[in-house]
Structure 1
Amino acid sequence: MIKTMLRGLLFVSVTAASAQSFTTETKKDANGYSYEVVKNDKTGVRVYTLKNGLKVYLAQNTDEPRIQTYIPVRTGSNNDPSDNTGLAHYLEHMVFKGTSKIGTQDWEKEKVLIAQISDLYEKHKAETDPEKKAAIYKQIDQVSLEASKLSVANEYDKLISSLGAKGTNAHTWLNETVYKNNIPANELEKWMVIEKERFSELVLRLFHTELEAVYEEFNRAQDNDGRLVNYALMDALFPLTPYGQQTTIGKSEHLKNPSMVAIHNYFNTYYVPNNMAVVLVGDLNFDKTIQMVDKYFGTFQYKELPMKKMVSEQPMTAITEREVKSPTAERLTMAWRTSGVGT
């Protein structure tokens, strides 16, 4: 049995060091691009903001002729619709499946079948009769099989690997989804061509089969002590907000009843340049690199982000205890809810 104790009040007097303040200054490069630097920053990071709101972080490291790349999107499972939890994580998987130009043998035929699959999933989600639901799922199986014959499996991975990339991956968490690659420095522009295409549109190709992979992740989490303890801990600390009420992997019933329409809406809402960044660290030239980023990612269109509904947690006035049963050794986790970053 794992015991989790969550204390709402901390009676010990603690003197916290004040948050370090950073002074920034604005400069211009040889091409006239403005950027910010933090004074006394030994790493020399430059922070650019393109006209469409995209943040670009550049830093030089010439230890080897490679560049570590990150494309973070400032959204995660906290923005999942309450009836489609797990959506942000599943979307992360689908961004690796290509576009109308990458991953297809015949897009004109394939897009018709993908649209049919999407319509069937909406019918499946709305249907409550188990037998009718099973019949719709059988149709989804059949159309998905036909659509899969027109797809090119793993074409994005093959393209990015052909550049010499390594560490290709991504992760989703509460407020972030981050896409990663480590590439040879001389392949930077080709990487940008591929990534610009990848984030320009969402194609939910091989949706049916990838869903099985995501559900397997869900199953593995059901006997993972660390996750189970964290779920209980977050639920107790945040009983009113998505931090505690929505897990990143999502609920079983939502994973079994997905909505391709909802995933497209999420992508169109949050995967916008003013909610994203490009982070490049490695053997790069500042002036040439920012021009290149602007050429490819500067074409994305700025979009207003939705206003978030503000929900406040009630003060914790007593100790809350939760028990998580598990076959592994007992342990105790203690947590305090604070007022947040910057307080």
Structure 2
Amino acid sequence: MIALLGMFSEHLLMGNAPEAVLAVVTGFPSTMFAVLGGASAAVSTRTLIRAGRPAAACLSVAVRGLLIATIGLILGAVPLVIVMVLSYYGFALIALACVLRLPTWALGCLAAALSLAGPHLILWARATGAAGAIASPSFASPLEFLQTIVFTGFYPAITWFTYMLIGLCAGRAVISGRARIHVAAALFIPGLLMFIAGFISDILSRAAVIDTLVADGTSAQTAHKLVENGYGTPLGSGWLALLSGAPHTGTTADIMRTAGMALVVFGALLMAIPRDSAKLPLPGKIIARAGSAPLTIYILHFFGFYALLLIAILADSSGVWVFGPVGIAIHTLAALGVGTYLLLTDRRGPLETLISRIVRGAVDRFCPAKPAEPRTLETM
């Protein structure tokens, strides 16, 4: 729910808020979704893994990713105000399915390697790609489609895959059976160190980043805007792709800063929230139910945003109740309304239910469980 609230704020403030507020809601919510996506993959496949069905576990994650990517491509086919993230998220999940069987230490090494190499691969793809720096999914050719999804889109799958690798490691720690306080500390402390390193790197390098952009021909006004939002790409090669931590750039410092904060929040919630959800007070249960239906609420937010915008246009109003705090309050109350309904009916989100049903069907068809072998008595 924290990630959902942050997403509402980033979309509805439209950059019109105090710098301190924008610093909190820009970049962090989407990263938290990606990290939690990796953690969810670990949790949702643990039964299959423990049952000795790793192929079924990988298939379940891949099918889930394919379904989410398809929804994202359909809804994002028309360029609108909100950048549809689901297509990139889905393809990152498909990539995660390919490495689901790797040991945790290998996943950590891969995440570290991509944190360093990923920004340079994005810049390389933008410089040498078939159609240059394509920012939105292109259907002109399979090559251009993969280029935009993996490297040059607003939320490059290579960056989100890195976040999901970190989340997968975190999720494995959660289901490891270790004491809850130890797991929380194992997430909180490294996450805090990552955040501090990325934050300091961003602050100390920001002036030099702006000067470099201006020296390369970017106007000072544009340079200042870019260090607030990179729209999916590093602001430059070399040290810029390493030290600059501008939001939505996917640089090494940006990944450390945002993924680190996601781990801090994850660890803090593990320490603060009881394991048994039945012990939560009623508001906590409602929030938990809303948070358990992120895809449903994301889609409702997507359509709700444009519904309110259309009403504002038709009513010839200023749209104050669409954007800003009023809009955030409307979307938050709607999300809590969904959570209340799911709690009262003891259901999951409808889209989550549908996708889980399709995933189970695919797993049962292509990776069915082996029938239990009949027991035989040993004779002397």
Which has more radius of gyration? 1
* TM-score of the pair, normalised by structure 2: 0.22
Which structure has more RCO (C-alpha within 8 Å, separation ≥ 6)? 1
Select the structure that is richer in helix. Answer: 2
* TM-score of the pair, normalised by structure 1: 0.24
Select the structure that is richer in strand. Answer: 1
